[in-house]
Amino acid sequence: QQQQQQQQQQQQKSTRVKNVWKYCSTCNIFRPPRTKHCDICKNCVCVFDHHCPWTGNCIGLRNHTVFLRFLLGLTVYSVFVFIFCVMVLLDDMGSIPGLYPMEKFTKAVVLYPINTCILIISFFVTAGMIPFLSYHLYLTAVGMTSYEYIKENCMDAQHGSQHSLSDVDSEPFITKAFIWTSNIYHKICRCQKLPESKLDYLQTVVSAEDYIHSYAVPSAL
């Protein structure tokens, strides 16, 4: 009974977190659930994940799929470059005469500095991209965003409790694995139609004087 009560409380917390509409005093709108105002973009972003400094915009509902594909492609490319550079280095070591492998390795590094630089760069890029991609694939599988994940951990640290925004925590592992795999497939592999943006970038820009005069009360004849 206690476990059932705890599960009901967790579901109530997750439902309350997901269904809250908040008012944004900057944009003067009521933000839909899972929406956050970005101080850098100066806009409310639906299903806000994070503000990416590498792409120069926010990652949200309309571009999260493209962002995951970008991470996946960059990770595969960096792994390919790293493996290719290692193969080239081994081939260079085989063409250098010597008795000891360490001596061949040193000569190959000195004789082919460009390959060595690319190898070092691709190693660090691969070492950073694999954990980053794994982290975002995990969030996609459980149906959370980076902002929600960080916020949840902060709430756990402050209140000393454990709760989750995911609705499948109480399911068996096989069911959870199927749901997680399905979430990743639908997010990355399926071609879904993007929802329309709420921002009108093609609207006509008018000056402040024209705007005031357009709403001015006409004088009496």
- What is the 8-class DSSP label of residue 216? S
The residue assigned the tokens 């063409």 is: 95
Structural contact between residues 46 and 35, judged by C-beta atoms closer than 8 angstroms? yes
Mean pLDDT throughout 67-90?
Answer: 93
**What pTM does this model have?**
0.70
- Give the whole-number percent of the chain exceeding pLDDT 90: 21
* Position with higher pLDDT, 152 vs 64: 64
Give the mean pLDDT of 197-204: 55
What is the rounded radius of gyration, in angstroms, for the C-alpha atoms of the chain?
Answer: 26
* Residues classed as catalytic: 52
d(Cα 51, Cα 62) in Å, to the nearest integer? 14
Q: Residue 216's pLDDT is what?
A: 45
For residues 23 and 10, is the Cβ–Cβ distance under 8 A? no
Any alpha helices (H) in 19-112, and if so which ranges? 64-95, 101-111
pLDDT mean across residues, the chain: 76
